[in-house]
Amino acid sequence: YGKRYVLEASANGTDWTPFYTETAGTGGSVTAHTYPQEVRARYVRMRGIERATPYGYSLYSFKVYGGEPAPASTTRTNLALNHPAYSNVYQHAGTSPAFVTDGGRPADLKGDATRWSSDWNADRWVSVDLGATSTIDTVDLYWEAAYAVDYELQVSDDNRTWRTVYRPSADQVAARRADVKPPGEATGRHDNVRLPQPVTGRYVRMLGKERRSFYNPAPATAQFGYSLYEFEVWGTGGSAAAAYPALPGEQSGTYRTTFFDDFTSAALDRGKWRVVRTGTEMGSVNGESQAYVDSADNIRLENGALILRAEHCKGCTKAGGGTYDFTSGRIDTNTKFDFTYGRVSARMKLPVGDGFWPAFWLLGSNVDDPSVSWPASGETDIMENIGYGDWTSSALHGPGYSADGNVGARQVYPGGGRADQWHTYAVEWTPTGMKFSVDDRV
């Protein structure tokens, strides 16, 4: 039997939404009620997470019962149960916000049960859509050890304008801040928040203000992200029909050009491009030995091409307080042009040899926002090459899959081609995926 599993529903057999989670199954007959949530679907499946034995799963019967749509709750209940949940950042798919409303939490608030976890920044939030306006009197937060020392509970009617209805007192924050332990000894906590008076709203969120500290090791301390097992919202109203919005469908038709530069002008078009400088638009990254500068020695147009050139200049470049042995050029369209979905391509040839790292990226337009930054902004590497002559690579970076943990692949140049020859690098980005290509070879 399944010790841990999820029941999921789908309208098309491709996109699945969880509506019931088991974290400590004991076998036998199990009846999973969906009420007060209304679940509408054509397909239903059991997705195993952990087996109870070394063998496979073994199931005698799988029965699904249906009926009339469930009405809005007129009795006090957990309005958040199995409702859509969202966050501004989560670490990876295994700790998505969907898990804070699945009804699963360990009794001792320890262990790796289903939960939402954020990256290592303070201003992270997780919210629940109750489906309709509700009257709310209590919120229960079941935290893993990485709880919020300080936070706000907020409600909203439209998911845009938020009203703070609760924040821990200064004494409570001080006591939580003082609870510092090694990660292996720390336990979670249950915050039972009874509001002074009932409030109304459709959306409820926890907005983090300060993370818990851990000895790492003592007396040094470190802070990690937030980790929340369950987000319960108690009251009346809501709607059992709340659901995650469907993904936008693929669009037919042909592309139209919205951004173009063939670099045939006399100088770089500063209306299209931002020149990035070390110590000004960005700090030093990746341990690079170069400083990005705004100089014609490093960035210029020549014979209908953009030239980005690295120059050796030992110890002579001081940018942002550092000393560098090389200068180089970097440009982007941040604050000038951004988009969602489309095809991006560039024809270029690359230097080959030790120390070179040419790159052609898409970055989230909020990458310079300190409350977001990288990798929460997302990064799409259309082309990266670290000096090799016979292959290039593409990759995706985001929360939980950045740097060496990125999702990516290499492509070897066909027919004996090399990186220092002209090639066209492209990505086609649609609502359902990305296709990377070199010279139209996906």
Q: Where are the domains of the chain?
A: 1-70, 74-237, 274-438
CB 136 within 8 A of CB 155: yes
pLDDT at 35: 54
Rounded distance between C-alpha atoms, residue 140 and residue 290, angstroms: 51
Rounded distance between C-alpha atoms, residue 315 and residue 170, angstroms: 50
pLDDT at 69: 54
Residue 231's nearest CA partner among 168, 171, 153, 176 is 153
Q: Against a cut of 0.85, is the pTM above it?
A: no
pLDDT at 71: 57
CA 334 vs CA 22, 79, 281, 408: distances in Å: 45, 41, 10, 24
pLDDT tens figures, 222-257: 888 899 999 999 999 988 778 887 767 777 778 999
Rounded distance between C-alpha atoms, residue 180 and residue 145, angstroms: 10
pLDDT at 39: 78
Rounded distance between C-alpha atoms, residue 427 and residue 344, angstroms: 6
pLDDT at 279: 83
CB 308 within 8 A of CB 329: yes
Q: Can 74-237 and 274-438 be said to share one CATH topology?
A: yes
Q: Domain 274-438 - what CATH class?
A: mainly beta
pLDDT at 220: 85
Second-level CATH architecture of 74-237: Sandwich (2.60)
Task: Name the burial class of residue 315, with classes exposed (0-12), middle (13-18) and buried (19+) by CB atoms within 10 angstroms of its CB.
Answer: exposed
Neighbours of 279 (CB within 10 A): 15
pLDDT at 375: 83
The parts of the chain modelled with pLDDT lower than 50 are none
Polymer length in residues for the chain: 442
Question: What phi and psi values does residue 99 have, to the nearest 5 degrees?
Answer: -75, -15
Show which residues are catalytic. 379, 384
pLDDT at 90: 83
